[in-house]
Amino acid sequence: MSDKDFAGKVALVTGAAGGMGRAIAVCFAEAGAKVAVSDIAAEAGQETADLIAGAGAESRFIASDVADAKSVEALVAGTVEAFGGLHCAVNGAAIELEQVRLADVEEDTFDRIIAVNLKSIFLCMKYEIRQMLTQGGGGTIVNIASTNSYRPQPHQSAYTASKYGVLGMTKNAAIDYASDGIRINAICPGAIDTPMLRAAMERRGRDPQEVAGRLSLLGRFGRSSEIAKAALWLCSDDSSFTVGHALAVDGGYLSR
């Protein structure tokens, strides 16, 4: 792909205040897209938009609670108002809160994880797809799932349930909208070096070197930029025959 493959395209990235989401937003901007940056964390989200604008690309931060239907509807409408359309969307907002076995998970914790990690995917796709259908010409959507979608980790019952759901919903939506020219795929990141992963390891008292060795054949954590490039490829014409696919970017973890 050239660095201008996305010139004239509008991309929306949720969960873009940091980590993988920020890297994805920056990557799309570097490829020539106009980028709507969204997150519930307003200050850090604005920093992402400013980072993109500082590099000479067009970006706007739009605060959104992806677990709330009206907020997501306003997010998509705000993206269209700012840039005139929507061609690519990467739905990456997620949380990971658990440290206990299933019987000890509080109901409020379960509900919050499902809302942010799974309901958000439903809501984002709902309004993204409606916009793509309205404007015609198809579009691309990438949902961020997880290697937990295939291989659960201990003490992550709700998180794992949410990520299994993301994968199922992605595949169903891909079936429903392929004939409309809307390609929908997922990425299953492995152990990616993000603030969320670092916080999870700290909460559990885990040694990062041991975790990297256990969760990757390469003996290292993945980089957010590696997820960003995978998302860019799935939204590009280079992946035009890729539909309903779950791309593992995991250092070979799922191959064992």
What's the rounded Cα separation, in Å, for the pair 20 and 29? 14
Query: CA–CA distance from 107 to each of 1, 98, 112, 130 (Å)?
Result: 46, 12, 9, 32
CA distance 71 to 80: 14
Indicate the pTM of the whole model: 0.95
**Cα separation of 127 and 124, whole Å?**
6
Cα atoms in the Cβ-side hemisphere of radius 13 Å centred on 38: 28
Is the Cα dihedral 210, 15, 61, 178 positive or negative?
positive
Q: Which fold has domain 10-194+224-248?
A: Rossmann fold (3.40.50)
Q: Which residue numbers are catalytic?
A: 159
Rounded CA-CA distance 64/121 in Å is: 13
Could you read off the pLDDT tens digit of each residue along the chain, which spans 256 residues? Answer: 444 589 999 999 999 999 999 999 999 999 999 999 999 999 999 999 999 999 999 999 999 999 999 999 999 999 999 999 999 999 999 999 888 999 999 999 999 999 999 999 999 999 999 999 999 999 999 999 999 999 999 999 999 999 999 999 999 999 999 999 999 999 999 999 998 888 888 888 899 999 989 999 999 999 999 999 999 999 999 999 999 999 999 999 999 8
- Burial tier of 54 (Cβ tally within 10 Å: 0-12, 13-18, 19+): exposed
DSSP-assigned states of every residue in 54-92? HTT--EEEEE--TTSHHHHHHHHHHHHHHHS---EEEE-
Measured CA to CA, the distance from residue 192 to residue 213 in angstroms comes to 13
Cβ count within 10 A of residue 179: 7
Distance between CA atoms of 172 and 16, rounded to whole angstroms?
25
| Closest to 156 (Cα-Cα) out of 103, 198, 97 | 97
Sorted by sequence, the CB contacts under 8 Å of residue 210 that are 6+ apart come out as none
Helix axes 195-204, 208-215, angle to 10 degrees: 110
* Residue appearing with tokens 């191959």: 255
Q: What is the pLDDT of residue 185?
A: 98
